[in-house]
Structure 1
Amino acid sequence: MMRSYFILAMCVLFLIQYFVQSEWLLYILAVFASVAFMGSLTLARTVPRVFSILMFIAGVVLTGLKGQGLDAIAQGITSNIPLLTLLVLVPLLSIPFKMGGFFDSILIYLRRYQNKPGKMFAGITVVLFFLGPILNLGSIRIVHELLKDLRLNAAFLSKAYLVGFSTTILWSPYYAAVGVVLLYLHVSIGSYMAYGFGIAVLFLLIGNVMFGLWAKRNKLETNYNESGAITLDHRKRMKLLPVVIIALMLITIAAEYVTHWSMLVLVSLLALVFPLLWCMFSKQWGIFKHQIIEYRDKAVPVMNNEIIMYISAGFFGQSLKGSSFGQGIQVFMNQLSQTSFLLFALFIMITMVCITFVGIHQVVVVTVLATQMDPVTLGTSKEILAMVLMLAWSASSILSPVNPINLLVSNLVKRTSIDVGIRDNGLYLLIVSAIGLCILTLFH
């Protein structure tokens, strides 16, 4: 419990420091981040732990070799704290949806299509497309919990979960992957969404068309229990749900345009304010208290891998700036881009997939590359470069047998990580990646 309070205090301290811009608050935040890093090391998995320790040590050494002092160390250690704050606070957005009974209504509507695989697949992917930004991996858990009694085909679920959630990774301002890319490339969410949302919708449509062909070829049939009655309350909730989600997105985009504050800060503030406002209007204080306790005890303490990887990767990425190694990366990427932008984008994707395949988090690759690449020098725009990184992040999340998304789905559907990533979704990823790279090269 105390550890959860400490992590939450670190997030609040970051938000205060963002507006105050005090040097001594930055040092305190660096101390908090260092303590959180050390405290999470023993609780994290082996591979993230080893790489995090190596990156943290490398960050200290490189910063020292450049002759920089405590200021640079504090800046490096805290560089990814905005992302951690987003990651820690965004689950709070799910509380109003739980209190409002939206998940029960989703189940009732999905059960209507239990004898129609194509519509069921479309329903699951669309639900994940919109809930994924707010619930993160929790959206897959919740949908699976709603559908577990239907005894759906394992390959069907594997395809539905990963097609639906992988598209979320491409566009959501509430997802840390988008946050880290936009942070380092200094891209506004408004300009990015034109690309991210459009490509995500295209991939969602492609996934559904490919599933239709797969279901017809495999003669997929369903035969399950009758669904429950759809009441007036369920209809009201299902009409209100997209309105609330779209309103949250528009508020975020509009607030960034007006205030010019960091998107990560705006989403974090929204995650704090939205549940409180919902509770004030609904007067469900008892349920709200229970949800907060559950969030404190279950959601916050399990972020050990993310804490150590984000802090160490941020420190390492910042320490590379101005180093000969960092300059070497710049020269190589610039030459590759000038030779062929398609080859450059393909290199980023293959590199991301290979590195995550052995258990290294995507944030390491993105932090290192994004801190060393200049879109102008590469001959492209910030938005296109951001989309290339996000396309690689999305593909590697599905293919890597040790990525949390792949592992979660494989555990839920009782199939191996290789089956889930390559056998069930490999062809889909190959097609959408090829289409995505061609589109980005054309716009480039």
Structure 2
Amino acid sequence: MKDTYLGITSFVAVLLYMVNVFVSAHFLAILYSSLAVVLLLFAWRRMKSGNKIVVTLLLLVGSVLFLFYRPPLREILFSFGENLNLIALFVLIPLFGTFMSEAGYLQDLQRTLLQRERGKKSHPYRLGFLLTASMGWLLNLGSMPLVYKIGAESFSSFENKKLGMTILRGFGFCMLWSPYFVNVGLILILYDLTWSQVGGYGIAISLIYILVVLCFFPVTRFKEEEVITNQVAADSMSDSTSSSLHKFVLYIVLLLLFSFVFEAILPVNMLTVVSILAVVYPLVWSLCIRQFRSYIQEASEYVRTSFPRIYNEIGIFITAGFFGEALSRSKAGDWLSHMIWTMSQGMIPLFILFLIGSVILLALLGIHPVIIILGIGSSLTPEAFGVSSAFMGVLLLCAWTLATQVTPFSGSVLMASHLMNEKPFQVMKYNAPFILVLLIIFTGVLTVMNTFM
């Protein structure tokens, strides 16, 4: 029962934040910030010891900074609600997937794969990557087990660990550009950017990322690999799926179109746009296909049961907002900028290597990337290094992507280890050469991009 109330509370908090974006009211800010404090307290109680220690330290350091600089109490309270726009992505974006499942689109996609397996040569890893890349940009981390389930029940034969690694790398592709990912949203907020200012560069880098993935396909091998063979594709098939798949494609295309159009015409950023669409778009679509009542039931169930799945992210992001606001009042940014500038000797390639390497190293120590990126973004001003805000945003996107692909503490690596039946540290070991190659390539690409940004 308590989890039900907490799930509803998180939903109400982000909705109040969104209303406040359009109708700014002091009492709304007080209300959603107070709800954020409540959510943080309950999330902290459920966290594992590692995250609990990090969150506690950040709260203590932030409190000391606030006591030293003595801002008004209301500003301290508002800092707890600072990142509710990012939490909105965790709370609301899964509603897209809830509708897709309720409408039967995912089941029809699986039937199409079964039909393809029956008539053509199997390409499980290529299809696994394409499925993750095409669904992950919207469904986020939930796409990984979903794609694995679809593939495991559809592909006639595949190597289990190789498929899991392929899905992990497909997820990384989405992190470089998708406006529905929290890392992209955070970068846009930190540097006051629109998606159009960084999205094109992110897509360009993600295409290079695909080429590296393709090069690693032949050399991706595992000890004690498990080969899974299915007989389902040969005899279980339905041929009446094309109409539903056309609706599915239309659903995705219109969603992307509305996202970019609304960002261009509305006086709000992409985070607010996608959060609004997450609430409204499935509702309208369910009305059009006459599944409104069943969708409402599934969406209500999702909201009531959401807190146990996202409490970790809620706690970390609320704490990061509090800490980031406190840190922004200090002179840590000047000190950190001077240190990085001195170590890189003013050379952009060294600056890129040092920054990405630092993010990866801290992530390997178990610090959540949002805390790292928020700390760096709140402290470093692009002008101090002679680069644009857009370049700094793209650089941090690359750093976040590489860090979450290799640290054994990230959600994506933990999910991949579960799918692969491997320990997280083994997944890190297997993916490390891939990340090292990307680090070198990204450094060169970003150095060239800097001249155009």
TM-score range, shorter chain: over 0.9
Amino acid of the structure 2 residue aligned with 1:36: L
- Structure 2 CA distance for partners of 1:324 and 1:381, relative to 1, 3 Å: closer
1:329-340 aligned at under 5 Å gives the runs 329-336=336-343, 339-340=346-347
2:25 is aligned to: 22
Deviates more, 1:356-365 or 1:338-347: 338-347
2:350 is aligned to: 343
Structure 2: gaps of 5 or more residues: none
- Structure 2 CA distance for partners of 1:382 and 1:324, relative to 1, 3 Å: closer
Task: Give the superposition deviation at 1:132.
Answer: 1.1
Aligned partner (choices 77, 97, 109) of residue 106 of structure 1? 109
Alignment root-mean-square deviation, CA = 2.6
1:156 is aligned to: 162
The C-alpha deviation readout for 1:182-228, integer Å capped at 9, x for no partner, is 1101111112110111211221232133214547xx99988542526
Task: Give the superposition deviation at 1:374.
Answer: 1.7
Task: Provide the rounded CA distance (Å) in 2 between the counterparts of 1:208 and 1:153.
Answer: 17
Amino acid of the structure 1 residue aligned with 2:166: A
- Structure 2 CA distance for partners of 1:329 and 1:205, relative to 1, 3 Å: same
Task: Provide the rounded CA distance (Å) in 1 between the counterparts of 2:264 and 2:344.
Answer: 31
Structure 1: gaps of 5 or more residues: none
**Secondary structure of 1:32's partner?**
helix
Task: Provide the rounded CA distance (Å) in 2 between the counterparts of 1:73 and 1:25.
Answer: 15
Task: Give the superposition deviation at 1:430.
Answer: 1.9
1:294 is aligned to: 301
**Secondary structure of 1:171's partner?**
coil
Amino acid of the structure 1 residue aligned with 2:416: V
**Secondary structure of 1:322's partner?**
coil
- Structure 2 CA distance for partners of 1:100 and 1:64, relative to 1, 3 Å: same
1:421 and 2:428 matched? yes
1:128 is aligned to: 132
**Secondary structure of 2:329's partner?**
coil
1:432 is aligned to: 438
1:360 and 2:378 matched? no
**Secondary structure of 2:422's partner?**
coil
**Secondary structure of 1:21's partner?**
coil
2:267 is aligned to: 260
Task: Give the superposition deviation at 1:274.
Answer: 0.9
The C-alpha deviation readout for 1:344-403, integer Å capped at 9, x for no partner, is 111222222222222221000110111122222221122221121111111111211121
Task: Give the superposition deviation at 1:267.
Answer: 0.8
Amino acid of the structure 2 residue aligned with 1:198: A
Question: TM (normalized to structure 1)?
Answer: 0.92
Task: Provide the rounded CA distance (Å) in 1 between the counterparts of 2:127 and 2:180.
Answer: 22
1:400 and 2:407 matched? yes
**Secondary structure of 1:152's partner?**
strand
Aligned partner (choices 209, 212, 216) of residue 210 of structure 1? 216
1:383 and 2:386 matched? no
The C-alpha deviation readout for 1:390-424, integer Å capped at 9, x for no partner, is 1111111121112111111111221111222221x
Deviates more, 1:142-151 or 1:247-256: 142-151
Conserved 8 A contact 2:7-2:306: no
Task: Give the superposition deviation at 1:119.
Answer: 2.6
1:192 is aligned to: 198
- Structure 2 CA distance for partners of 1:190 and 1:360, relative to 1, 3 Å: same
Conserved 8 A contact 2:263-2:269: yes
Q: Number of paired residues?
A: 443
* Identity value in percent: 23
1:172 is aligned to: 178
Aligned partner (choices 269, 285, 291) of residue 278 of structure 1? 285
2:95 is aligned to: 92
- Structure 2 CA distance for partners of 1:220 and 1:35, relative to 1, 3 Å: closer
Task: Provide the rounded CA distance (Å) in 2 between the counterparts of 1:427 and 1:115.
Answer: 36
1:239-258 aligned at under 5 Å gives the runs 239-258=246-265
Conserved 8 A contact 2:332-2:379: no
Amino acid of the structure 2 residue aligned with 1:90: I
Task: Give the superposition deviation at 1:131.
Answer: 1.1
The C-alpha deviation readout for 1:72-106, integer Å capped at 9, x for no partner, is 31332222111011221111111231123221233
Amino acid of the structure 2 residue aligned with 1:400: T
**Secondary structure of 2:308's partner?**
coil
**Secondary structure of 2:217's partner?**
helix
- Structure 2 CA distance for partners of 1:242 and 1:392, relative to 1, 3 Å: farther
- Structure 2 CA distance for partners of 1:294 and 1:420, relative to 1, 3 Å: farther
**Secondary structure of 1:401's partner?**
coil
Question: TM (normalized to structure 2)?
Answer: 0.90
Conserved 8 A contact 2:141-2:412: yes
